[in-house]
Chains A and B, each alone.
Chain A
Amino acid sequence: MKDNLLEINNLNVDFKTFDGTFSAVRNVSLTLGNNDSIGIIGESGCGKSTMAFATMKYLAKNAKSSGSILFKDKDLLSMSEREMEQYRGNRIAMVFQNPYSSLNPSLTIGYQLDEVSIFHKKLDRTEARKASIEALQMMNISEPQRVVRRYPHQISGGIQQRICIAMAILCSPDLMILDEPTTALDVTTEAVILDSLKELREKLNMSLIYISHDMGVINKVADRIVVMYNGEIVEHGPKEQLFDHPSHPYTRALINCMPRGGVVKEETMLNTINGYVKRRGNQDVGCPFADRCEKRNATCENTYGMRVVGQSHMAACDRAYATDITDTKHLLKEKPVVEQQVFEDRPLLEIDNLHKIYGSRRKVYAVNGIAVSVAKSSVLGVVGESGCGKSTAAHMVAGLYKPSKGSILFDGSDISIAWNKRSPDMLKRIQLIFQNPGNSLNPSHTIEQIIGRPMKRLMHIHSAEERRKKILEMLKKVDLGSDYIKKKPRQLSGGEQQRVAIARALSISPDLVVCDEPTSALDVSVQASVLNLLNDLQQETNSTYLFISHDLNVINYISDYIMVMYAGKICEYGKRDEIMAPPFHPYTEALLSSIPETDPKKQKKPIRLGGQLPDPGKKPKGCPFAGRCHRQVGDICYKEFPPMVRLSGSHYIYCHHNFSEK
């Protein structure tokens, strides 16, 4: 096997910390041929990034690595820093998760790009600039001449990431490592980047290592897939085989816990993986996944080894090819059917002509006149890309900001006022669940204080005994034990923190719960359990949810009604099934097409959105989506805001396009 570009043999990375030594990567062996691409998948904390960083020799001082990493038959691990310089950025390039922090904010894009060629290829300034502009063109960045003169903060996140990739290809490296490059970006931008990556591979003949936690993304870019769990490879193989016959229980669990297209709450409950990734010492033996595996038996604790399960397809499970492999399509848990709720005539929440303009001198038009009503005991999902004003709208409902214009009627009374003017009763009836649980729970309070405080404050339960009883009840509802009561948020994992946040919001039985991207900071497996929980609690308490998310799959799963927002305006509103089926608003169509498919056989061509979000600093005119729309009818799109087109009693679209034609 001399033609391998990269060969990792028995790589171990241990970190010496003050709690003792723990191993982040254990006994990982991997080969990568020329013009090959592998995707590495796993939850956070599974050593994916550490492995990538080890390849680049970017490890912290307290890390100890052993084994060998052969790149073109030379061992990178035994190289000095000096020798590594020849490889880093030159033969091996890396793209990081957050483009904003990997570009220097005080240097122009051009300067940063040129530096790479000047350093590695010894070009002079003009040649380097030429090379930089070519690289930008290869990444389909429009007007590269102008982009090179800008600073990173003047450019949107998606283009920043494309610049990072352009920087990586400047020396036409043999290997490019991408560490979750699209995780922080919107789906439409993600689709564009994944597309151009594919083109790049064909053009430059390079190999890719793509790290992600998203099966759909991996499916799009990788030929082979490596599944990592807790520092070890649990399964690897060609992607078609791996998706068709996932053999390791972890792989199966991972695939099944994603709410995929078509999965809705009435029919199925999402699969979850119990527990969380435990830190391992370097002495532990046995299957790393044993403690969370539903199919474990006595041998799992001490035996562990790779087995061949198919053509170059290996899995590290004893029972990988036993009879318990079932068709993945039926693995989602059947959910007991609940009777269809009866919606009352009068909506609980009515929003009319809601506006929010930030700033006084330099205005930012965040929400530009939305009108929607939410029926009692229903779930309204609000979906849209970042910057479309969905969170602002949610925060206005919750009372964090006062609307600039318009009204919010809650159960008949006007609540278009900020929190300090609302009555305690109103505050009690509307609760907000934040995006980032680590931030929304006070780190220095115990869980008991956190959940108990709203009870004392808004429900006037002054007896500590009574409160504690209710807290324990609530903790049980969110599947947390009574021992959590004395813990602090820092001692909890992200998923547990979000459960506490949910417990806090629901402990005072609110009528309306505003969920502001409650799962987007969580791993897919945790997301599944949080969604299940929210869903169960909603049915149990019959409360109303306003659910904000950028993920259409999640929205599709949990909502009864969906509202699609773009640049502070509503594009489309309707019942879930009406939104998810044609006719679409062009923006909804683009969003749907951008979601990466997890089935390798079903590949779809995403609608590429060119252009950029409309400038939020300008007063909007015409259809906000006009500049990027693939179905625009003509000048009218830029000049007039489209009229509401009613497609059915509950479904309407704002678009000039004539939908009756189709």
Chain B
Amino acid sequence: MSQLWYQLKKSPLAIIGIAILALWLFAAIFGPSLIPFTYTEIDSQQIMVNPGVKGHLLGTDNMGRDIFARIVYGSRSIFTVALLTSMLSTLMGVILGFIAGYFGGKIDTVFLRAMDIMMAIPPLVLSMVVLGILGDSNIISLTLIVSIAFVPATARVSRGVLLTEKNKEYVSAARIRGESNLYIMFVEILPNTTGPIIVEATARFAYSIMTVASLGFLGVGLQPPTPDWGMMVIENKPIISQAPWAVLFPALAIASLVIAISIISDFVGKVLVNER
């Protein structure tokens, strides 16, 4: 813990990242009860008003909906999806990567080839196609498909760290006292690989925000009326010359959150490396 403070003092960038994330988390949890508008409320008197007019902090779009409210409500869905995705993809990746790396041989070869095939299709394209076929997407289907698209990356990282740990003598020691493979994998090895896996999970968190936003932008993300940052950008694209704020602020929201989480991910990596 004191190590964390020490590292934090040395990296002001990480403080900024954590501050931004904290702000967004606050907005997602308490925001909706603090702002006067909801995300569907149409103010027909105030269409495309400038930021700051009549309580519309960030202006309104072409239907008179409050941009600020939509961004705050949108943060809820994006946090839910991104958090679930990073956890689910890490979980699946660890299980698959550990099994492949631990047993090696044919299992490993099959695993690697399968991952290669999946990696050949970009996560975005894969999710797009599947979501397109499924039609209406909701939080659950979105989470599932993005998680699966991310599995090759997390599985490869898990397999890599397992391989370095597998050759250590404590694994041999466990083997010659007759431990089961599952015990060795998850009780002996897993606790020693948490560092790189946590770093990968936080990186996946940032990536899934990007992916979800992109899917929203492409129209296969969460469906209206649920506010989605990516969708807001594309929805308001036609009015970009009259009301640039309607595009600018959702885009800024995406960028700030992704950058903040990337910074935190780097920082977590550094702290965990120094702890070793």
- Please list the residues of chain A having a beta carbon within 8 angstroms of any beta carbon in chain B: 18, 398-400, 419-420, 422, 424, 427-428, 430, 432, 434-436, 439-445, 453-454, 457-458, 504
Contact = CB atoms under 8 A, between A and B. Distances in A.
B177 A453 contact: yes
A412 B191 CA distance: 40
Contacts of A453: 177
B98 to A, nearest CB: 16
By secondary structure, the B interface counts as helix
A442 B170 contact: yes
A439 B168 contact: yes
A429 to B, nearest CB: 11
B177 A434 contact: no
A439 B173 CA distance: 10
Contacts of B6: 18
A400 B175 contact: yes
A424 B169 contact: no
B170 A440 contact: yes
B3 A18 contact: yes
A443 B164 CA distance: 14
B178 A436 contact: no
Interface in B151-169: 168-169
B178 A434 contact: no
Nearest to B178: A427
Contacts of A398: 176
B138 interface: no
B178 A432 contact: no
B192 interface: yes
Which residue, of A441, A444, A454, has the highest number of chain B Cβ atoms within 10 A?
A: A444
Interface residues of B, number: 17
B176 A419 contact: yes
20 contacts: A399-B176, A400-B176, A419-B176, A432-B173, A434-B169, A434-B172, A434-B173, A440-B169, A440-B172, A440-B173, A442-B188, A443-B192, A444-B191, A444-B192, A445-B191, A454-B177, A457-B177, A457-B178, A457-B179, A458-B178
Contacts of A458: 177-178
Contact of B170 (A419, A428, A441, A454): A441
Given A427-B178, A432-B176, A440-B173, 20 more contacts: A18-B2, A18-B6, A399-B176, A400-B175, A420-B175, A428-B177, A430-B176, A432-B173, A434-B173, A439-B169, A442-B170, A442-B188, A444-B191, A444-B192, A445-B188, A453-B177, A454-B177, A457-B178, A458-B177, A458-B178
Q: Which of B2, B173, B174 has the most CB of A within 10 A?
A: B173
Given A442-B192, A444-B191, A444-B192, A427 B176 contact: yes
Contacts of B168: 439-440
Nearest to B190: A444
Contacts of A432: 172-173, 176
A458 to B, nearest CB: 6
Nearest to A433: B173
Contacts of B173: 432, 434, 440-441, 504
B94 to A, nearest CB: 15
Contacts of B174: 442
A439 B176 contact: no
Contact of B177 (A427, A435, A442): A427
B192 A422 contact: no
Contacts of B170: 439-443
Contacts of A445: 188, 191
Interface in B223-258: none
A636 B78 CA distance: 80
B177 to A, nearest CB: 5
Name the residue in A439, A441, A504 with the highest tally of chain B Cβ atoms < 10 Å from its Cβ: A439
A15 to B, nearest CB: 15
Interface in B192-247: 192
Contacts of B169: 434-436, 439-440
Contacts of A435: 169
Given A18-B6, A443-B192, A422 B178 contact: yes
Contacts of B3: 18
Nearest to A453: B177
Contacts of B177: 427-428, 453-454, 457-458
A546 B128 CA distance: 63
Contact of B172 (A400, A443, A454): A400
Nearest to B189: A442
A535 B129 CA distance: 69
A647 to B, nearest CB: 36
A137 to B, nearest CB: 40
Contacts of A419: 175-176, 178
A430 B168 CA distance: 20
A124 B177 CA distance: 61
A441 B175 CA distance: 13
Contacts of A442: 170, 174, 188, 191-192
Interface string B96-127: 00000000000000000000000000000000
Contacts of B191: 442, 444-445
A347 B40 CA distance: 87
B178 A424 contact: yes
B83 to A, nearest CB: 25
A419 to B, nearest CB: 5
Contacts of B179: 457
A444 B168 CA distance: 13
